[in-house]
Amino acid sequence: MRRIGLAVILALSFSLFMPLVGKAQQAEKTARIGYLEIDISPGDSGLQAFLHQLREFGYVEGRNLLIEYRDAKRRPERFSALAAELVALNVDVIVAGGGTLGALAAKQATGTIPIVFPLVGDPVEEGLVNSLARPGGNLTGSSLLAQTVEKLLELLKQAAPGIRRVALLLKPDASPPRTVLDYINTAKRAAQALGLRLQVVEARHPEDFDLAFSDMSKAHAEALVVLATPVFGTASRRLADLAIKHQLPTIFSLREFVIVGGLMSYGPSRAELFRRAAVYVDKILKGAKPADLPVEQPTKFELVINLKTAKALGLTIPQSLLVRADEIIQ
């Protein structure tokens, strides 16, 4: 009887102990994230915000988090191969940076692994999701549909009231042709409403910048609007320097261009977009499906002005614009 009683006690103890072990093992399960980008640098505001938010959720690299970084090294044509590597590693979720090109490469590589894109233009038109409210597949993230070229032109005109000819620099293959055409037509209407003549200039790679600025000079452009893409972002300082060299007041859609010498920017915070990507990654790791997570659109836009660059351009920024700025770089 004593032996039977002892056996029963041991069995009960074991049955009570095992669920605790299982929970502990589950809590210590390592999350595996694939991080795909056009250019990865330790000081990148997007990456830093992404990692910070993950730490806020309790994910720590080397303890319960493993991130497989894949850097295209400023060559978007490498996205497909790098995305395939992440799929082969069977990561839990892929963060597809690099704009539309990175997201498309990830989608082509897998139809099952969840994918979060921090920033793309029009994810519906670009074939990434079925709709913003109900993505319907294995992708979700943030869209820059709210980014308006009209606002960029309006602010540029306020900063340099005397301008009459404005160039619009864009990467034509960064989005589907219809999306690019929509941007151009919208810009033309906005320019006309402001009394401006618009010149559309294309650059597929940073190597095309010199020719693009040469074309602007020949057309007597007096100012410039740059529609940001990850590829342009890899050469942000060069773009800023060329704008100063050609004496072109320039507005960008991301703050990062102004930090390295651009005149001004208006658009969503890159850091905030990547922080939101981390929020979606956490939800997915906890069981949420991308198909049920609506594609978000930025709600806060920031105006950043570089007064040092304004001085180099011989430009006096109106006080009415300065008081609206979220950040002024002296």
**Average of per-residue pLDDT across 47-62:** 96
Write out pLDDT tens, residues 249-306. Answer: 999 988 989 999 999 999 988 899 999 999 999 999 999 999 999 999 988 889 999 9
- pLDDT value of position 173: 85
- Give the pLDDT band of residue 10 (cuts 50, 70, 90): very low
Q: Is residue 5 part of a domain?
A: no
* Same domain flag for 200 and 126: no
Q: What is the CATH number of the domain that holds 137?
A: 3.40.50.2300
When pLDDT is averaged across residues 58-87 and rounded to a whole number, the result is 95
Print the SS3 string covering the chain: CHHHHHHHHHHHHHHHHHHHHHHHHHHCCCEEEEEEECCCCCCCHHHHHHHHHHHHCCCCECCCEEEEEEECCCCHHHHHHHHHHHHHCCCCEEEECCHHHHHHHHHHHCCCCCEEEEEECCCCCCCCCCCCCCCCCCEEEEECCCCCHHHHHHHHHHHCCCCCEEEEEECCCCCCHHHHHHHHHHHHHHHHHCCCEEEEEECCCHHHHHHHHHHHHHCCCCEEEECCCHHHHCCHHHHHHHHHHCCCCEEECCHHHHHCCCCEEEEECHHHHHHHHHHHHHHHHCCCCHHHCCCECCCCEEEEEEHHHHHHCCCCCCHHHHCCCCEEEC
122/264 same-domain check = no
**Do 190 and 231 have their domain in common?**
yes
Global pTM reads 0.83
pLDDT at 175: 77
Same domain, 196 and 310: yes
Mean pLDDT of all residues in 38-66:
93
In a domain, 202, yes or no: yes
pLDDT at 1: 46
pLDDT in tens, 120-179: 888 998 899 999 999 999 999 999 764 578 999 999 999 999 999 999 999 998 877 888
Residues 38 and 76 placed together within one structural domain of the fold: yes
Find which of 18-32, 48-62, 147-161 is predicted with most confidence, using mean pLDDT: 48-62
Whole-number pLDDT of residue 110: 98
Q: What is the mean pLDDT of residues 171-194?
A: 88
For residue range 192-240, list pLDDT tens digits in order: 999 999 999 999 999 999 999 999 999 999 999 998 788 898 899 999 9
Answer whether residue 14 is part of any domain. Answer: no
- Structural domain boundaries enclosing 312: 149-268+301-329
Total domain count, the chain:
2
